Amino acid sequence: PKRVRVHHLRQAKERGEALTMLTAYDAVTARIFDEAGIDILLVGDSIGDNMLGHPTTIPVTVDEMIPAVRAVARVSRRALVVADLPFGSYEASPQQCLATAVRMLKEAGAHAVKFEGGAHLAEHVRLLTRSGIPVVGHLGFTPQAENLLGGKRVQARDNDAAEQLVADALALADAGAVAVVLEMVPAPVAERVTEVLAVPTIGIGAGPGCDGQVLVWTDMAGMTGWSPRFAQRFGEVGAELYRATRAYARAVRERAFPAPEHTYER
Ligand code: KIV
Ligand code: NA
């Protein structure tokens, strides 16, 4: 399959073709998502709360991200692989941001990076873009700032905040961002951002008017008991995994497994 590249993102927007994006944190799932035709695999810092047992994304380190990005990049043959920059690894300066992004590409094989924030990070986006690293922006509810934002809440509800969001999105795109993720913003606001940007918006809890959609794969597949309102459970993989695990344990206890066909003769 032909690799999805950054020029395909803008092309998809121009043609009105919806982009599909899903998180992935390991080779097993990344291979499935890639073969299923997902356009963009995001190694999200949501690895923290979804895979590493942290309560939020805030404790995630670059050293925790790198092996996950490497696993996803190694097995994906078609998808564009985007690595999140974790909290504390990019904010201080464009130089810090570039150094972290370079690790994601050189050590881990990512094709692009994503980080959270608006116009105040335009210089970060500009330096990476000039250095040959595609950047995906992330606006609206930005989980790394949840302490400041007062928890997981819908952003840009009032007019001033909506205008600020549009200005932030334009600043990122103007600095070279190849796409912008919009998380938990009212659908009409996301639609407005989508209209004014030449590059695609990718929504999560941002309504149907975005150019593409992204979900955390464990939400999409029904791996956990709870999923956020904006996430449809397209399967009940967690329940199926539980069922398989119970069946395996029962078979071992009943000495029904291993059977002769699983057994080597000498
Ligand atoms: O880390 C993540 O999963 C994300 C998506 C929700 C966009 O940033
Ligand atoms: Na993230």
Residue nearest atom 2 of ligand 1, based on CA coordinates = 44
DSSP, collapsed to helix, strand or coil, labels residue 213 as: strand
**Any domain includes 72:** yes
Triad 110, 166, 81: Cα angle to 5° = 10
List, as residue ranges, the binding site: 45-46, 84, 114, 116
- pLDDT given at position 253: 98
Task: Show the tokens assigned to 71.
Answer: 């696993």
**Any domain includes 258:** no
Interface predicted TM-score of the whole assembly (ipTM), two decimals: 0.99
- pLDDT given at position 235: 97
**Any domain includes 102:** yes
- pLDDT given at position 67: 98
- pLDDT given at position 144: 98
- pLDDT given at position 158: 96
**Any domain includes 76:** yes
Cα within 13 Å of Cα(161), Cβ side:
14
**Any domain includes 257:** no
**Any domain includes 250:** no
The secondary structure of residue 185, as a DSSP letter, is -
Phi, psi at 191, each rounded to 5°: -65, -45
Instruction: Write the DSSP string, 75-141.
Output: H-SSSEEEEEPPTTSSTT-HHHHHHHHHHHHHTT--SEEEEEB-GGGHHHHHHHHHTT--EEEEEES
Instruction: Give me the mean pLDDT over the 99-103 stretch.
Output: 99
- pLDDT given at position 263: 97
The secondary structure of residue 2, as a DSSP letter, is P
Residues 196-244 pLDDT 10s: 999 999 999 999 999 999 999 999 999 998 999 999 999 999 999 999 9
Contact 165, 156 (CB under 8 A): yes
Beta strand spans in 39-178 (E): 40-43, 80-84, 112-116, 135-140
Ligand that lies nearest to the alpha carbon of residue 181, given by its number in the listed order: 1
Ligand 1, pocket-test mutation among 45, 46, 142, most atoms within 8 A of CB: 46
Q: Residue 45: CB within 6 Å of ligand 1?
A: yes
Q: Cα torsion at 3, 182, 187, 224 (round to 10°)?
A: 80
| Parallel/antiparallel/unpaired status of strands 135-140 and 179-183 | parallel
Q: How many helices (H) and strands (E) does the chain have?
A: 11, 8
- pLDDT given at position 49: 95
**Any domain includes 34:** yes
| Backbone angle region of 177, left / alpha / beta, with phi > 0 → left and psi within -120 to 50 → alpha | beta
Ligand that lies nearest to the alpha carbon of residue 86, given by its number in the listed order: 2
Report the number of distinct structural domains present in the chain: 1
Range of the domain at 47: 6-235
- pLDDT given at position 229: 94
- pLDDT given at position 250: 98
Q: 233 CA to middle of ligand 1, Å?
A: 17
**Active site includes 240?**
no
For residue 145, name the pLDDT band (cuts at 50, 70, 90): very high
Q: 18 CA to middle of ligand 1, Å?
A: 18
**Any domain includes 180:** yes
Residues 146-184 pLDDT 10s: 999 999 999 999 999 999 999 999 999 999 999 999 999
- pLDDT given at position 81: 98
Q: CB burial class (10 A; 0-12, 13-18, 19+) of residue 34?
A: buried
Catalytic pick among 107, 183, 191, 240:
183
Task: Show the tokens assigned to 193.
Answer: 């951002």
Q: Residue 216: CB within 6 Å of ligand 1?
A: yes
Return d(Cα 214, Cα 48) in angstroms, integer: 17
Q: Residue 184: CB within 6 Å of ligand 1?
A: no
Task: Show the tokens assigned to 226.
Answer: 């709870």
- pLDDT given at position 245: 98
Contact 10, 138 (CB under 8 A): no
0.95 surpassed by pTM: yes
Q: Residue 214: CB within 6 Å of ligand 1?
A: yes
CATH number at residue 116: 3.20.20.60
Other CB atoms within 10 Å distance of the CB of residue 105: 20
Residue nearest atom 4 of ligand 1, based on CA coordinates = 44
For residue 121, name the pLDDT band (cuts at 50, 70, 90): very high
pLDDT mean across residues, the chain:
98
- pLDDT given at position 173: 98
